[in-house]
Amino acid sequence: MKSIDFCIQYLLDYNNAELPDDLSKEKALRTLMNITTPDNLDSVFYKEQDKALQEILSKKKIVELSDLKPVKGKYYIYVGDITLIKADAIVNSANKEMLGCFIPLHSCVDNAIHSYAGLEVRRDLMKMLSENPSYQPVGHALITKGYNLPSRYIIHTVGPTVFGRNPTEENINELRNCYLACMDAAEKVHAGSIVFCSISTGVYRFPKKESAHIAIKAVDDYLKEHPESTINKVVFNLFNENALDIYKRAIEEI
């Protein structure tokens, strides 16, 4: 039996779930992973899931940091899927539960990262949070391994949610704190490179333009305050080109 078929059947039984007939195998696996609370999965499941996810990854093009040109100094921009870049650490924009997105096939970055890294990530977060629930507030960061992703670590942070038309002072400070906390977390594992997704600019509605300036200023302030930092490549990841010029200009201006 192929690993992906084994995993789909295993998770169907584990969750006592049913799937629509028209899903591809990759989407079926992702759907089931999204709804799974991994409190007692067998080790054989993880082994087969890792094989299945590695096979999926082997058909995609991994982006190396050497493929990117710096915009200025240590700062790079990568337009594309964060699950396909190979760095020491990538940043995930999580929610307050910090266990990944449970909505099947949701288009958020949290869903993509958990789905392609593997259920080990949710399992590890569940363990960490049961030992220390205070990890979750907005502006903090928590680190796990990257498992089946090309990158070694995932730094999970909870960004602010913007409720009105414009972000509040508190939203702005919280977003800055996310970037600072992620840099700190990356430093703790001696990361040389970090890739930031655009925290809070999707479901949480932080305006992209403003967030670009906050992100770049926070990281730049951090590196100025930590001249001995291990981090020598900072990549700002955008999912599409909409805010590309804003990012380029903001980096050039610092």
Contacts with ligand AR6, residue ranges (CB under 6 A):
81-83, 93-95, 101, 106, 108-110, 112, 159, 197-204, 237, 239
- Quote the Cα angle for 40-143-86, to 5°: 105
CB closer to ligand AR6, 70 vs 207: 207
Taking the complex as a whole, how short is the minimal distance between the CB of residue 9 and ligand AR6, in angstroms?
Answer: 27
Taking the complex as a whole, how short is the minimal distance between the CB of residue 57 and ligand AR6, in angstroms?
Answer: 14
Distance between CA atoms of residues 73 and 35, nearest Å: 42
Taking the complex as a whole, how short is the minimal distance between the CB of residue 157 and ligand AR6, in angstroms?
Answer: 9
**DSSP letter at 88?**
S
CB closer to ligand AR6, 5 vs 26: 26
| Closest to 75 measured CA to CA, from 173, 206, 215 | 215
Taking the complex as a whole, how short is the minimal distance between the CB of residue 10 and ligand AR6, in angstroms?
Answer: 25
CB closer to ligand AR6, 49 vs 237: 237
CB closer to ligand AR6, 151 vs 237: 237
Q: Which residues of 88-127 are buried (b: 16+ CB within 10 A; e: fewer)?
A: bbbbbbbbeebbbbbebebebbbbbbbbbbbbbbbbbbbe
Task: Scan for tokens 């949701």, then name that residue.
Answer: 106
Taking the complex as a whole, how short is the minimal distance between the CB of residue 227 and ligand AR6, in angstroms?
Answer: 30
Question: What does the chain come to in residues?
Answer: 254
Residue closest to ligand AR6 when measured from CB atoms: 202
DSSP β-ladder status, 75-79 and 233-238:
parallel
CB closer to ligand AR6, 109 vs 183: 109
